[in-house]
């Protein structure tokens, strides 16, 4: 079946262009991009009404709580939330219970994802067994089973010898290693970023230098081993110089950031609001602005949701005891559009970070508007206003910091391999 998306404002993150044109899709692939009209009008025509058509978001670092905590999030609920949020590919984390550290567990979650999710799901696997940092996993077997990257998530691998061996092994296989750059002793038990606000609130805090120290160590090991490395979240200005040097020295290093660290700052915690407790903690405004500039310049490569579901029992606790994390699949796009509305970043720059770069890093055919690319697309209106109501979220857990916030930007339709999986007027259309 041939689909023609006409009368659309196309966002091309690869060429950094916004153009008026049409996209033709056949058999789940993009076959033509035409500026202006349609090259061959045969097939179904979808009039976009001048709205924006962009590659679907590739969200690197989504936590789905299967196995172990299915009451917080399942592949079905996460997939529906992703479709509603314009996310066409979820790259899922292995911090489940048990951890995804064996081919058998990986095959289980892959099968569950394919059965239940309307969007693509690509799993990551643990770098060490049980994410305990003592013994590395069978990276080769896990790659054969479908793992696209290896990470212990927010568990910092403290044994440098184990980490260096894992990086060496990963390099020999061409595997991507994702790490959480933090100095673990300094950051242990921290709930906020150190400063006047933390002191006034009497909360345990961590210096921004903990991130810098963790990144410095990781980059040194990457220089020693030659591995492919990605820092999952860079959130402080202090960490940018070593990142820039690593790239200038030709190391295979990229960096990401969660959307909440681009749009919120430490003061949003206010009177101990636990929905704003994240890991790493929210930073000062100067750091936030530096991160936005780094994304715009391309120094930080990837923007993701860092979707971390937590139930009410985990969040409705004193701030120090509450679990860290926030959901973000459905709020990633409107939150990111805050930066565009503020004139801080262009839409092609945003989609380069949310779609093109993560797809490139993982070797996917999505994340771009060009002939031969996967027809994973999102149609959205960046100006549509709404008030975020967490009770309307499709995620099982609704721990969003944006509850009650006025936002702009609604997904109108989401397409996975050319099939509509979400439409704003009818809801979820189908599973693949």
- The pLDDT score that the predictor gives to residue 358 is 98
Residues 6+ apart with CB under 8 A from 200: none
332 with 85: CB under 8 angstroms? Answer: yes
What Rg do the C-alpha atoms of the chain give, in angstroms? Answer: 21
What pLDDT score was predicted for residue 43? Answer: 81
Tokens 């054969």: give the residue: 144
pTM: 0.94
Tens digits of per-residue pLDDT, 1-47? Answer: 789 999 999 999 999 999 999 999 999 999 999 887 665 667 889 99
Looking at residue 390, the DSSP 8-state letter turns out to be: G
**DSSP assignment string, 145-198:** TT---EE-TTS----HHHHHHHHHHHHHHT-EEEE----HHHHTT--EESSHHH
| b/e per residue 96-112 (b: at least 16 CB within 10 A) | beebbbbbebbeebbeb
Question: Domain spanning 56-362 has what CATH number?
Answer: 3.20.20.140
Question: Which H or E element spans position 313?
Answer: helix 312-315
User: What are the residue ranges in the chain where pLDDT is below 50?
Assistant: 429, 431-432
Q: Break the chain into its structural domains and give their ranges.
A: 56-362
Phi-psi region of 195 (alpha: psi -120 to 50; beta: other; left: phi over 0): left
Instruction: Quote the CA–CA distance of 36 and 128 in Å, as a whole number.
Output: 52
């Amino acid at each position: 079946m041939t689909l023609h998306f006409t009368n659309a404002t196309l966002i091309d993150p690869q060429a950094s262009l916004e153009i008026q044109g049409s996209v033709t899709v056949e058999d789940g692939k993009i076959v033509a991009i035409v500026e202006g009209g349609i090259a061959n009008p045969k097939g179904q025509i979808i009039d976009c009404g001048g709205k924006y058509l962009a590659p679907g978001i590739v969200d690197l670092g989504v936590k789905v709580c299967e196995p172990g905590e299915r009451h917080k999030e399942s592949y079905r609920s996460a997939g529906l939330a992703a479709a509603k949020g314009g996310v066409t590919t979820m790259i899922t984390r292995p911090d489940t219970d048990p951890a995804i550290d064996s081919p058998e567990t990986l095959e289980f979650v892959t099968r569950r994802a394919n059965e239940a999710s309307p969007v693509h799901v690509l799993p990551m696997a643990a770098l060490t067994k049980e994410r305990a940092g003592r013994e590395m996993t069978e990276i080769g077997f896990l790659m054969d089973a479908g793992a696209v990257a290896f990470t212990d998530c927010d568990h910092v691998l403290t044994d440098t010898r184990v980490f260096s061996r894992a990086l060496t092994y990963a390099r020999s296989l061409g595997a991507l290693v994702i790490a959480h750059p933090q100095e673990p002793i300094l950051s242990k038990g921290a709930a906020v970023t150190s400063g006047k606000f933390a002191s006034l609130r009497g909360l345990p805090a961590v210096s921004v230098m903990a991130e810098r120290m963790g990144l410095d160590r990781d980059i040194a090991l990457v220089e020693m081993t030659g591995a492919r490395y990605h820092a999952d979240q860079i959130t402080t200005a202090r960490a940018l110089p070593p990142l820039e040097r690593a790239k200038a020295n030709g190391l295979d290093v990229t960096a990401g950031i969660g959307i909440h660290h681009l749009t919120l700052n430490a003061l949003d915690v206010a009177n101990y609001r636990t929905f704003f407790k994240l890991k790493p903690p929210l930073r000062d405004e100067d750091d936030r602005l530096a991160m936005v500039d780094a994304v715009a310049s391309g120094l930080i490569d990837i923007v993701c949701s860092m979707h971390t579901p937590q139930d009410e029992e985990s969040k409705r606790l004193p701030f120090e005891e509450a679990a860290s994390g926030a959901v973000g699949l459905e709020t990633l796009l409107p939150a990111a559009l805050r930066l565009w509305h503020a004139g801080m970043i262009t839409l092609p720059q945003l989609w380069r970070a949310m779609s093109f770069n993560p797809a490139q890093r993982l070797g996917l055919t999505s994340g771009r508007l060009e002939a031969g690319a996967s027809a994973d697309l999102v149609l959205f209106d960046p100006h549509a206003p709404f008030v975020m109501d967490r009770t309307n979220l499709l995620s099982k857990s609704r721990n969003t910091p944006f509850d009650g916030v006025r936002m702009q930007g609604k997904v109108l339709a989401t397409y996975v391999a050319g099939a509509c999986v979400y439409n704003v007027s009818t809801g979820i259309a189908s599973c693949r």
